[in-house]
Structure 1
Amino acid sequence: MKRLTQLLLAGFCGLTTATYAQQTRPVWLDEITIKSFSEGIPAVLGKTNAAGDSMLINGRYFKHGVGVNATSILAFFLDGKATEFSALVGVDDKGNRNLPHTFYVIGDRNILFDSGEMRLGDAPKPVKVNLTGVKRLGLLVKVNDEGRTKVYSNWANAQLVMLDNHLPKNIPNDGERYILTPPAPKTPRINSPTVFGARPGNPFLYTIAATGDRPMTFAANRLPKGLVLDPKTGRITGSVAERGTYAVTLSAKNALGTATKTLKIRIGDTISLTPPIGWNGWNSWARLIDQEKVIASADALVKMGLRDHGWTYINIDDAWQGKRGGPLNAIQPNEKFPRFKEMVDYIHSLGLKTGIYSTPMITSYAGYVGGSSDFEDGHITDEIIANKRSYRYVGKYQFEAADARQFAEWGIDYLKYDWRIEVPSAERMAVALKQSGRDIHYSISNSAPFANVKDWVRLTNSYRTGPDIRDSWNSLFVSAFTLDKWAPHGGPGHWNDPDMMIVGNVTTGTQLHPTRLTPDEQYSHVSLFSLLAAPLLIGCPLEQLDPFTLNLLTNDEVIAIDQDPLGKSARLVMEQDGFQVWKKPLEDGSWAVGLFNVGDFGKTPQSYFRWGDETARSFTLDLVKIGLNGAFTFRDVWRQQDLGKFYGTFKTEIPHHGVVMVRMFPVK
């Protein structure tokens, strides 16, 4: 009997173990939405190299794997639900021959695999690492590409062995979305720029942006001849024939009080005396943009109160273009924009401005008609439409003059001119816009070579200083924290442009999703863009703004630093022990200073990833070391609080990838 009982118990235990044992299954990385795991800048592709061609390493083809370009960062949340990662790694045969690549596999801060330097022609190296218990996995390819192209490498045959039916997830972005900025007062406060430029005789539109309880009435004393103010809306319109600088006193009045501000109107050759701020549709809707979405965005900018804080532009990006036609043989809108001029007029009626997109190439980035053609009449063929990528070059015939005149007739206020602009194309459009009879902010995109910066300053109103931005700390760091060399060149009329803002819900290569920047990183993002005097173009659907993101975008003291009429960009004045200090002079003699905890980003393989155990660090600012002598009154601009007087040093806590941003007023 005892023996029978033992056999029965053994059988039961065996059944229990078999029933509850976790099964494993391999998961190819190219069969999940791999783009959503990328925190690098160039796109990653499954089953091909980064150019979309067959994956090939040292003459060997692979049907499975992930092709990447330049420095690549793939981050996965496994939560202990994986047992193994395996791959064959190497430089793609169509990649750059001269650059060494290093592949890393990192689990919970531990380097599990280091390939050493690999070059084109090296045999692929096998990777096989144990992931038991690993919560966060990082796949890093490190290469110093210095802006060179075709920097292709491959994670060939890359697969995870997962437990049961689990799949890898994105790294959690669950930090507290803390709100720092207090609500605007109910009394009037004027927030629009204090300087505005227009060319003689051209249409003029300036809206007095003011917060405070409504109803509110507006006034403007000493307006130059030719301008009129609507006292109910605060819109100043008309045109001014005489060159000169006109000092105008603006006022906004409600039942609780009156606010005043001096506006300098400069009529001359230079427009865009402060960086443009507004909204761009690409990172919201990409190719799905249409007339209804644009109007909804304009309405939301007003409804959300952004207009009252100075946000002005509603910019349509790529995918609005139809074929050439009309009296000017200019680009006409496609079927998604059936009443284009009415749409522009409606946006203007809200006191806002309208932007548009084009390119000097035959086809745009999204494959729509561009500003040139190999046919004299500019028509586009079915072959071009079917093979649009093959026509990303400037055609034999250019149509800048016709397109610029059409933009002016529609009432366009901003042009984004796209796709690796070279100087001759930039100059042709610059001349055409100046001869159009309308002030149109001229922005070129993307990656304007630094070697031609003097031409960009001469020809354009803003110029992209790097690649397209993505919603990751790596992309933000590359786009903004490396711009010190550009700083001396930006200023009134010609602004350094690090690309759109990556807050709220964004697309950036994948379906609409909340930005992957942590709340601390988002405060750093808005702070640094403002310190750099960069264009501020919101890249998310405005009607989807949550309270945290809206609060980020409506701090008038931060916006005022970006819009300061002196127009100087901050400079990187200190970098030590994982901290950066950026200092910006302001017109009134004060200084805006950003203290950033960048965490030695990029200096170790582990620093490219977020591990979930990061903490705030203490930092002591030595004022003398950054060239500031004497006593200063400090103001925390995010909290809009005075911090007191400081002499010599200032000590504070800064979150990981976060910021403390202060305005410093000399004590006399």
Structure 2
Amino acid sequence: MAKLHLLLLAFIGTTVAYAQKTTTIWLDGLSIKSFSEGIPAVLPKTNAAGDSMRINRRYFNHGVGVNATSILAFYLDGKATEFSALAGVDDKGNRDLPHTFYVVADRKILFDSGEMRLGDAPKPVNVKLTGVKRLGLLVKVDDDGRTKVYSNWANAQLVMLGNHLPENIPNSDEKYILTPASPKTPRINSATVFGATPANPFLYTIAVTGDRPMQFSARDLPKGLSIDENTGIITGKVAERGRYKATVIAKNALGEATQKLTIKIGDTIALTPPIGWNGWNSWARTIDREKVIASADAMVKMGLRDHGWTYINIDDAWQGKRGGKFGAILPNEKFPRFREMVEYVHSLGLKVGVYSTPMITSYAGYIGGSSDVETGQVTDSIVANKRAFRYVGKYQFDANDAQQMADWGIDYLKYDWRIEVPSAERMSVALKKSGRDILYSISNSAPFANVNDWARLTNSYRTGPDIRDSWNSLFVSAFTLDKWAPYGGPGHWNDPDMMIVGNVTTGTQLHPSRLTPDEQYSHVSLFSLLAAPLLIGCPIEQLDAFTLNLLTNDEVIAIDQDPLGKSARLVINENGLQIWLKPLEDGSYAAGLFNVGDFGKTPESYFRWGDEKTKSFIVDFAKVGLKGKYRLRDVWRQKDLGPFTDSFKTDIRHHGVVLLRMFPEKQP
């Protein structure tokens, strides 16, 4: 009787399971951008250009249009039963490049389209997903930076159990903190070299941690400079060219710290990479005066200024009409009392940046630096049709805008467009004639073929597309920069874009970075090794303890700000290990050991499955070009590891890093 009862219960359970309600959802009904871990656009119901979705002359009203290599990742948690779609290259895509479509579930490839090209009929996709936890949709294209590489998941649908919806891949790994707290005694963290132009305004702030109050002083400053003893801000103007050796001093009740400071007065500014904050990935188009001031206040309150963070940069969306005494771009209604705002930020010892473009309209649809009419004005109809005016107009106003920036006291310009040399050169000349040192950063995707021009004309140049908070985007933006390394240096830095830590908005609403904690350590480590600009892209006042700790390790920052200005080079790339080696001014080396796994080598490797493992590696010194005995220091933990001869063995977490300082020891 008991056996019959158990069989009956089993039958009832099976019947209920089979009868469980399912819901079919269109992928284009989801917030699809939030599921994208690729770089270019992902759009619902259209191709990636925003046009009608069409494959082999057949139109589709439903689906997801993607561009180039595309990665869509979904957390299903066993709540889906089926995925279906028609996969194919969009009729407005690139004719020459083969695309391969994959459906990957819990590390298993369920669909492989083989190579598909423009004009091929769409291929039907229909895969069962019962019990699947994680689903990945991958389109693989070796686009080599080419544009209009459009393809589609047409009529894409998921069948879900009940009313469940797919979720984003969870990012719940422990936010482990490695860096010890700064001591209460003074410790100076400023860059040890600083460049300025003769007779231009000079602003340098001594960054120092330790208990307040703090008293500041300096010895052997060049004529024309003075230091505020309460703030450590050095201001003035130096008329004579030269190389000046000064000493800066910070003192509190517990002790005193000194640091040598080399001041170079000449033609080169930005002798170390810029380090600060940019507002786009925090606030995008909603940036305003109050948010800028709040960010500057937070830079001080959170202690970032004491670790050398300097710039407060306003991205696109501050621009209003053209006018004023210079006939220049003036701020819009969100930025009243603009000069007063700049002066306030300067009073904190920080610097201010703005955004512009040589195009008629900016990417966000605001007035740019050129026009097809002589007055330079941009009408409302032009703004409404901004995509049609993303080109350099007949009349350019570089000199007008540079003069206005200098008059306000601007310290940094982000100049953004599809970069070409003539526009880059016009603004470079205008800034140098403005009477103020304005760091000149051009964006985005600078053509490598013109790298010598970018190094000659600018202080930093974007080496790739806009970064997103995904491992794929970070890998493309930073782990592929070895060919650029010889061209960066003091005064002209390779720029892989803003930092993707903290809360960011990169095409979707503000959310915590999708990088795992391990990936964030790798991110900050590699940017520092590359001598890249360090520009935080998150709201500073929202920093949690983990992210603040990540951004305030002075030994990591010192690698980025090293006066030698050399970028690390990729010296090992095998068996899932990358080693980047950077020579430093004192004769030591910084070495980043990265566990990149097999990323990009298999369809499965593009996704995070939640079961990734730590791996052991042995570093052979001779294989990276070093021989003999080295004293090693773990930079993130600020801990000496001891002397090692010929090799070093360590465990590295998946997509994680071990960042070392390697000091050569004299041989007996």
TM-score (norm 2): 0.98
One-letter code aligned to 1:79: D
Aligned to 1:338: 336
Which residue of the other structure, out of 579, 582, 588, is the alignment partner of 1:581?
579
Q: Quote the sequence identity (%).
A: 80
**Could you tell me how far 1:15 is from its partner in structure 2?**
11
Would you say the 8 A contact 2:632–2:661 is kept in 1?
A: yes
1:522 aligned onto 2:524: no
Aligned to 2:319: 321
1:472 aligned onto 2:486: no
User: 2:346 & 2:332 partners in 1: Cα distance?
Assistant: 21
One-letter code aligned to 1:477: F
The 3 A distance-change label for structure 1 pair 213 and 14 is: closer
One-letter code aligned to 2:29: E
**Could you tell me how far 1:387 is from its partner in structure 2?**
0.8
User: 1:191 & 1:21 partners in 2: Cα distance?
Assistant: 66
Aligned to 1:277: 275
User: 1:313 & 1:384 partners in 2: Cα distance?
Assistant: 32
1:173 aligned onto 2:171: yes
One-letter code aligned to 1:210: V
Would you say the 8 A contact 2:55–2:90 is kept in 1?
A: yes
User: 1:620 & 1:256 partners in 2: Cα distance?
Assistant: 43
Aligned to 1:227: 225
Which residue of the other structure, out of 393, 404, 407, is the alignment partner of 1:406?
404
Aligned to 1:119: 117
* Structure 2 stretches lacking a partner, 5+ long: none
**Could you tell me how far 1:421 is from its partner in structure 2?**
1.8
Aligned to 1:396: 394
Aligned to 1:432: 430
Secondary structure of 1:314's match? Answer: strand
Secondary structure of 1:237's match? Answer: strand
Secondary structure of 2:404's match? Answer: helix
Would you say the 8 A contact 1:376–1:397 is kept in 2?
A: yes
* Structure 1 stretches lacking a partner, 5+ long: none
User: 1:10 & 1:333 partners in 2: Cα distance?
Assistant: 75
The 3 A distance-change label for structure 1 pair 116 and 219 is: same
Would you say the 8 A contact 2:632–2:642 is kept in 1?
A: yes
Aligned to 1:255: 253
Aligned to 1:442: 440
**Could you tell me how far 1:613 is from its partner in structure 2?**
0.5
Aligned to 2:626: 628
One-letter code aligned to 2:319: Q
Would you say the 8 A contact 2:81–2:130 is kept in 1?
A: yes
User: 1:439 & 1:103 partners in 2: Cα distance?
Assistant: 50
Which residue of the other structure, out of 589, 592, 598, is the alignment partner of 1:591?
589
**Could you tell me how far 1:146 is from its partner in structure 2?**
0.5
Alignment of 1:562-573 (within 5 A): 562-573=560-571
**Could you tell me how far 1:10 is from its partner in structure 2?**
8.1
1:287 aligned onto 2:281: no
Secondary structure of 2:38's match? Answer: coil
One-letter code aligned to 1:596: F
Secondary structure of 1:287's match? Answer: helix
User: 1:139 & 1:480 partners in 2: Cα distance?
Assistant: 24
Q: Which runs of 4+ in 1 moved over 3 A?
A: 9-21
User: 1:76 & 1:380 partners in 2: Cα distance?
Assistant: 43
One-letter code aligned to 2:455: V
User: 2:112 & 2:660 partners in 1: Cα distance?
Assistant: 42
Would you say the 8 A contact 2:365–2:384 is kept in 1?
A: no
User: 1:253 & 1:15 partners in 2: Cα distance?
Assistant: 75
Which residue of the other structure, out of 28, 31, 35, is the alignment partner of 1:30?
28
Would you say the 8 A contact 1:71–1:140 is kept in 2?
A: yes
Aligned to 1:494: 492
Alignment of 1:109-148 (within 5 A): 109-148=107-146
User: 1:19 & 1:658 partners in 2: Cα distance?
Assistant: 42
One-letter code aligned to 1:462: S
Secondary structure of 2:282's match? Answer: helix
User: 2:10 & 2:412 partners in 1: Cα distance?
Assistant: 75
Q: CA RMSD in A?
A: 1.5
List per-residue Cα deviations over 1:29-50 (Å, max 9, x = no partner): 0000000000000020000000
User: 1:88 & 1:134 partners in 2: Cα distance?
Assistant: 21
User: 1:587 & 1:358 partners in 2: Cα distance?
Assistant: 35
**Could you tell me how far 1:382 is from its partner in structure 2?**
2.4
User: 2:312 & 2:9 partners in 1: Cα distance?
Assistant: 71
User: 1:239 & 1:330 partners in 2: Cα distance?
Assistant: 26
One-letter code aligned to 2:382: I
List per-residue Cα deviations over 1:283-319 (Å, max 9, x = no partner): 0000010000000000000000000000000000000
User: 1:261 & 1:615 partners in 2: Cα distance?
Assistant: 43
The 3 A distance-change label for structure 1 pair 11 and 236 is: closer
Aligned to 2:209: 211
Secondary structure of 1:98's match? Answer: coil
Which residue of the other structure, out of 68, 74, 77, is the alignment partner of 1:76?
74
One-letter code aligned to 1:188: P
One-letter code aligned to 1:162: M
**Could you tell me how far 1:77 is from its partner in structure 2?**
0.4
Stretch of structure 1 that moved more, 382-391 or 580-589? 382-391
Would you say the 8 A contact 2:501–2:537 is kept in 1?
A: yes
1:663 aligned onto 2:661: yes
User: 1:421 & 1:399 partners in 2: Cα distance?
Assistant: 17
**Could you tell me how far 1:642 is from its partner in structure 2?**
0.1
User: 1:352 & 1:251 partners in 2: Cα distance?
Assistant: 19
Would you say the 8 A contact 1:216–1:253 is kept in 2?
A: yes
Secondary structure of 1:272's match? Answer: coil
Aligned to 1:102: 100
User: 2:130 & 2:214 partners in 1: Cα distance?
Assistant: 64
The 3 A distance-change label for structure 1 pair 554 and 10 is: closer
User: 2:57 & 2:18 partners in 1: Cα distance?
Assistant: 45
User: 2:162 & 2:291 partners in 1: Cα distance?
Assistant: 42
Alignment of 1:372-383 (within 5 A): 372-383=370-381
One-letter code aligned to 2:566: K
Secondary structure of 1:383's match? Answer: helix
User: 1:11 & 1:582 partners in 2: Cα distance?
Assistant: 61
**Could you tell me how far 1:468 is from its partner in structure 2?**
0.2
One-letter code aligned to 1:390: A
List per-residue Cα deviations over 1:623-667 (Å, max 9, x = no partner): 011111111100000000000000111000000000000000011
User: 2:381 & 2:365 partners in 1: Cα distance?
Assistant: 12
Secondary structure of 1:147's match? Answer: coil
Secondary structure of 1:624's match? Answer: helix
Would you say the 8 A contact 1:579–1:600 is kept in 2?
A: no
Aligned to 2:449: 451
The 3 A distance-change label for structure 1 pair 16 and 94 is: closer
Secondary structure of 1:139's match? Answer: strand
